[in-house]
Structure formats: structure tokens, C-alpha cells
Chains A and B, each alone.
Chain A
């Protein structure tokens, strides 16, 4: 209803109409909180990957995360909001004099990579399972959905801990943790497919001889895009938290590699003497996950306008 009204209004006002995709884009661009979150998230990514460089490409920040530097004072952060200076070591230095800004940026790079990997892979798994179960019904559905139940009933953290003990490290976690996070999306996609597969356009496609693969990819998958896009963002947020928690418990990333979780874990006992070593990585996690969740919220509103305030 809302969509039709919106479309009608625009027709009256500007004498043109919008496609479904344009409507969604417009709704998302008007979502102020989500847009600000998107900008902050973008800045964070750019900062993480350009400052200390990535791989062979050098960054604009003069120091790297591995070398030690002469201590400035006790290694306190030199960033100051009152005097607008960044100073020598904006986030301070760690116990042996490494530049903490570079270390946090390195941690962010690793954590973001894990998170994006897990988010994308788990979404692919969940989508495929949901599509197959919803489209084929019968024993395929029974098997896949029971499997989903088995995974859901075990607390996420427990499953994730066991799996990342099997394959730790950045690459291992990226490949293994999606096996934990796909379940809720599979259920959602299956629900959508169950109603889509009975619709006339699907029947028409099947009658005119389209193969199962074509029906699923061309006719059903586009109908589930809303659920999937929202799920990717939420999975990325969940993945960052899961990675850092596992690393904190000792099942994830281990030195010499680093991640935001490992930085917190390493310096949790330094809180009283060097609180900044604890604050900056934690705030980095909080900022990233908060942004991702706000973006997900904005996307959900854009795809499903029935839930937004225009209704009330």
C-alpha cells in the first residue's frame, strides 16, 4: 500500500514514476541514521586500508605495526581534541614501544577481512540451503531443515569455538565460521520461497519449460533479495563480534597475526596502567559493529516499508 501511495505521489508531483529498485534506493538514501552510519563505516574502511598500507602497497602513515619506536613519555596517546593535534603516536604506544595506531589499523584490517568473508560465505550457504529446501520440498527440505535445527540448538559460541579450534587463524576462521552463522537466513529464505513458488509467474515459467535452475535463479532468487541483503549486513556485524570473542577465549587468531580481539585480549590486564591499550581496539569494534547494525536497520526499512514510521 505504502509503495503504491508513494509511487502515486511522485507521479502527481514530478510526473514520473520509479521502479521498485529506485524506490528502495530512495528510501535508503533518505534514512539519515543509516546514511551517516554508512559514511562512518566507509571512512573506517578507508582509514584501515590506506593508513598503514595493504600488502605491497605502502600507506600514508609513516610507521608500521611491527617495529618499535623510542618511547614518548609513558606511551600515552598524543591525540588531542582540544588542541587539534595528532602528535607522534595518536593512540599511544604499547608496552614495548610499538605504534598503537598502526597496530589497531592492522587489527581492523584483519577483523574486517574475516568479517566480510564470513558474512558473504554464510549468506551464500544460507541462501542455497533455503532455496533448495523451499523449492524442492519433500525429503530435501526434511534433511536440510533438520540439519538447520541441529546447528541452531547448540549455542553459536560453542559450535564456533569447536570449529575454530579445528582451523584457527585468519583464513581458517573465515572458511569455517560461516558453517555456524547460516541457519537463521536459511529459515528466512525458505519461508520466502515457500510463498514465491506458488505464485503465477513461477507456474508460468515452469509450464513454458524453464529448467529448475532457471526458475530458481531468474524468478525466485530476485524475490528474496531483501532478506538476503539485510542478512549479509547483520552477519558481518555478528562475525566481527564472534571473531573477537573467540580470539579473546583463545580459540581464534593467535600471534604473530593480530586482530582487534587479540589486542583486547593481550592488554586486558594493562587496563589500570595503560588504559588506552584497552580502549582503542574496543571502541573500534563498537564503532564498526554499530555502523553495520544501523546500515542493516536502514536496509530493512528500505526493503520492507511496512515496518517504518509511515505506518504509525
Chain B
């Protein structure tokens, strides 16, 4: 396995080198780097041109400039050498630019990838299990629409409806009865499509969902909940316990009580920890959250191991997944309870420009919400586009797997349909998907370039576009280096996932 990975890594580095050379040659030949200065009417025009030729090294042949860049870029990976990505045509250090741009872009791309995998796999499996149902057709049609959507057009639409109109609405969040009924109706329709069953059950699902959503919206509206929302520990425990039950039902079913107890104990322990630490949590901090996250996983794995018995592995899995879901819910609870305070500081919560609001002063949770609201729309956009392809691939590979002989064998020996899908089919259906996700990463970055442009983020995409417009190779090369390295890492992760999903490869 290790030899295999190193071989793959070696090939990737070679390919990356070839691609970098290609991009460098094309970029420096794509236009005139002095065009803006030639047209300027400034008195010291010749001196300006002279200065830029010196900063960019235009008096040297291209291979010398390329070799110089390469030496500095290799230094970023090899320890003990100076990391140097050159300077822009204005003489700014590209390494510093890249560092600040990278954090914004990676936050966007990684968030979108994770969300897209979770949603895409879930939707894909559901539509494979309910193939040729109304749900499947709706999902298929939706996927086609998102494939065919121009990203920038959708981005501008989202900016208008998700940001500007939402901000108008949140200033005085009132809902008319018609709006409530429409939202409740849509929720009911979607849920009955997704859950399926015979007409009677579908009607029941739709009716129940309709009633619950309508009641909730009426309560929210009367309580001014949209401006001043709160969840409280009770809701947190309820939601987490529900998630625990759901995860248990997917992984092992309820015939084995130990696993269910492990999940519920995790929720209990989580509730105790959250209650005990509420003062610390109120102050917040990313390091604290990360530490607590690690602690949660460790504790829940221990709980799973303690309850497990002969179901140890499954109990540990269910416990830590429940623990992770619970920590997300707790974070949401804290964030939500600071919403009204943030609205005071930032009356129009979703700005259409920038990754962070300028001059925003607030405590940790308010800044957290600020980052979140700015991240929301671009992430949603990128996610939707990737979800379209992931769900299609998951569906087709799931359908393929369900045709296999071992699935028929499993069914024939009386394994329940749940276990057939989650244990025998799911894992095998994921194998082709890992390749797609790693491969799709490059197109996600293309999407990020466009979204950053529309939403005015100062990220890698903007650096690339500005660099290319000015025929300034260093920022362009640094973009290619970072995205290429990220793609190589994604492929490496996919290779390791292969080994995990298909033990035959591990040898």
C-alpha cells in the first residue's frame, strides 16, 4: 500500500510539474505585461516601464524566470529551503498574498465538498433505493438543471434573493398565512416523496409534516423567533437523541439494544458536559471548540467500547457519529442564541461582498455568525452544483451494486433490506465515488473562481483573475501550485479511501 501511494505521489508531482510549465509559458505569452504603462500619460512613463521590467525580470529569458520560480516553489515543500513565490508586478510578495487568499478559498471549497458529499450520497442512495419513483424523477430532473446552470447567473440570483431580499425581510420578519401554508405544503410534499411507502402512509407523512411545519411557523412568527431565536438545552438533547436513534437504525437496527444504549449514553454525557461547561462555551474560541470536539470523539468512542460487548465496533461507530452530530447541534445552539445580538451590530446580516464584514467588532459567537452568514451563500451555490453530480454517480453506482450476486445472496439468506443497503451495498457503491470526488475537486475550484468574483471575496480566484489580466505570471503560478497541490492531496486521500473501502487493494 505504501509503495503504491509513493508511486502515485511521484507521478502526480511529475504531472504537476508539466502542467505548471505549460501554464507558465501560456501565461507569459497571453498578452503584454506593460500594456497599461504604455498607455499611461504620466511624465515618468519610461522610468515606470523600466522599474516594472526589473521587478518582473522581463529582461531575462523565460526559462530563467521559470527556473527562478521553480526553485522558490520547491523550497515551499522541501524543508530547509527558502519558500519564495516571487513578486507581483507591483513588487508585492506573492507568498504573503497567497497565505491570506488561501484561507478564504479553502474554507469555501472544503466546506462545500464536505456538505456536497454528505447530501449527494444521501440523495443518491435514496433515489437509487426508490428508483423510477416520483422522488427519483424529481431528483434526476433537478440534477440536470444544476448541471446546466451557468454558475455566475445562479450566483447573481442567489445574491438577490438570498441576501438582499432576505435582509429586507429580516428587518421586520412577518409571514403571511399564505406563505406559511405554501412552505408547509412544500415540506410535506418533499417529505412524502423522500420517505415513500403506500398512498396511505404517504398521505399520513405529508399531513403530519404539514401540520408540524405550519404550527412551528405560526409559533415562530408570533414569537418574533426569526429575530430572536433560541433553542435551549432541552431542544439540543431532543434533536441529538433523535439523531442517535436514526444513526442506530441505519447501522444496526434496534434488535441489538447495546448499540442504542451507547448512542443515548453519549447524548447524556454530552448534555452533562455542555451544561457543566456553559460559562466556558459562552466565551468560545476556535481552539476551545476544536479541543472539545476531540474530547467528544474520545469520550463517545470510550462509551461505545464500554457498552459494546460483541457489537463493539458498531457501538463505537454509532457513538462517535452521534457525538459529532451532537457537538454540531450544541454549536448551532450557541450560535443561534447570539443571532439577535449580531443583528444589533449588523442590521443587514448577509452582505453581498466579502468573506468577512469590514470593521466588525463582536464577541466570539457574533464573529462566528458573521463568518457563517458570509460563507453561507457561496457555499450553498458550490454545494448545489457538486451535489448534482455526486447524487447521479452515487445513484448509478448503487444501482450497479444492487445487481450483484452477493446482494442477491444476502437477500436470499434473509438479511433485512436495511442491512442489505447499509452493509452490503453502501460501502461498495462508495468506491467509484471517491474517484469522482477527487477528480471533481478541480471543477469545484473553477466554480470557486466564479463565486468569489460574484461575491467579492479576496481569495485565490481573485488573485488568479487579477494576475492573468495584468499578464503577471507569479500570482497565476501560485494559484496553479496551490490548487494543483490540493488536487494531488485529494487524490492521495482517495487512494487511502480505496484501501479502506476495498481491503483487496491494501495488500
Contacts and interface: CB of A to CB of B under 8 A. Distances in A.
Interface string B136-155: 00000000110111111100
A56 interface: no
Contact of A150 (B22, B29, B31, B149): B22
B480 interface: yes
B163 to A, nearest CB: 12
Nearest to A291: B148
Nearest to B15: A149
Residue among B26, B144, B152, B464 with most chain A CB within 10 A: B152
A172 to B, nearest CB: 12
A166 B151 contact: no
A310 to B, nearest CB: 12
Interface stretch (A6-14, A41-49, A85-93, A157-165): A157-165
A161 B465 contact: yes
B450 A249 contact: yes
User: Interface on chain A toward B: helix, strand, loop, or mixed SS?
Assistant: helix
Nearest to B17: A150
Nearest to A153: B19
Interface in B396-411: 396, 399, 403
A293 B143 CA distance: 11
B144 to A, nearest CB: 6
Contact of A158 (B23, B144, B148, B453): B23
Interface stretch (A58-66, A128-136, A212-220, A282-290): A282-290
Given A154-B23, A155-B443, A293 B148 contact: yes
B393 interface: no
B148 A286 contact: yes
B55 interface: no
A278 B454 CA distance: 14
A250 B469 contact: yes
B152 A264 contact: yes
A165 B31 contact: yes
B278 interface: no
Contact of B442 (A149, A156, A278, A312): A156
Contacts of A237: 148
A155 B442 contact: yes
A282 B150 contact: yes
Nearest to B137: A33
Contacts of B446: 155-158
B30 A271 contact: no
A294 interface: yes
Contact of A248 (B144, B152, B476): B152
Contacts of B450: 157, 245, 248-249
B471 to A, nearest CB: 8
Given A294-B144, A311-B403, A271 B15 contact: no
Contacts of A311: 403
A16 interface: no
A5 interface: no
B148 A278 contact: no
B468 A290 contact: no
Contacts of A162: 23, 26-27, 30, 468, 476
Given A162-B468, A293-B144, A285 B18 contact: no
A150 B19 contact: yes
B164 interface: yes
Given A158-B479, A248-B450, A150 B15 contact: yes
B379 to A, nearest CB: 18
Contacts of B144: 290, 293-294, 297
A312 B31 contact: no
B225 interface: no
A268 B27 CA distance: 29
Interface in A134-154: 146, 149-154
Given A158-B464, A166-B30, A285-B153, A249 B23 contact: no
Contacts of A282: 150, 153, 157
Given A156-B443, A249-B450, A146 B150 contact: no
A67 interface: no
A244 B156 CA distance: 14
Contacts of A265: 152
A157 B164 contact: no
A289 B151 CA distance: 13
Contact of A153 (B164, B468, B484): B484
B50 interface: no
Interface string A202-230: 00000000000000000000000000000
Interface string B1-35: 00000000000000110110011001101110000
A41 to B, nearest CB: 12
Contacts of A261: 150
A282 B26 CA distance: 31
Interface string B23-53: 1001101110000000000000000000000
A95 to B, nearest CB: 17
A231 interface: no
Nearest to A283: B153
Contacts of A248: 150, 152, 450, 453
Contacts of B443: 155-156
B29 A166 contact: yes
Interface in A45-87: none
B18 A158 contact: no
B156 A278 contact: yes
Nearest to A297: B144
B19 A154 contact: yes
Interface string A270-312: 0110000010001001100110111001000000000101011
B445 interface: yes
Contacts of B157: 282
B141 to A, nearest CB: 9
B208 to A, nearest CB: 31
B277 to A, nearest CB: 43
Contacts of A294: 144
Contact of B164 (A264, A272, A292): A272
A286 B146 CA distance: 9
Interface in B455-487: 464-465, 468-469, 471, 476, 479-480, 483-484, 487
A163 to B, nearest CB: 7
B254 interface: no
Interface in A257-273: 261, 264-265, 268, 271-272
30 contacts: A146-B18, A149-B18, A153-B15, A153-B16, A153-B442, A153-B487, A154-B442, A154-B480, A154-B484, A155-B442, A155-B443, A155-B445, A155-B483, A156-B442, A159-B23, A166-B29, A166-B30, A244-B153, A245-B151, A245-B152, A245-B450, A265-B152, A271-B160, A282-B153, A285-B150, A285-B153, A290-B144, A290-B148, A294-B144, A307-B396
Given A166-B26, A289-B150, 16 more contacts: A149-B18, A152-B442, A155-B449, A156-B442, A157-B450, A158-B446, A161-B464, A162-B23, A165-B469, A165-B471, A248-B450, A264-B152, A264-B156, A271-B156, A278-B153, A292-B148
Closest 4 interchain pairs by CB?
Answer: A157-B446, A289-B148, A282-B153, A150-B18
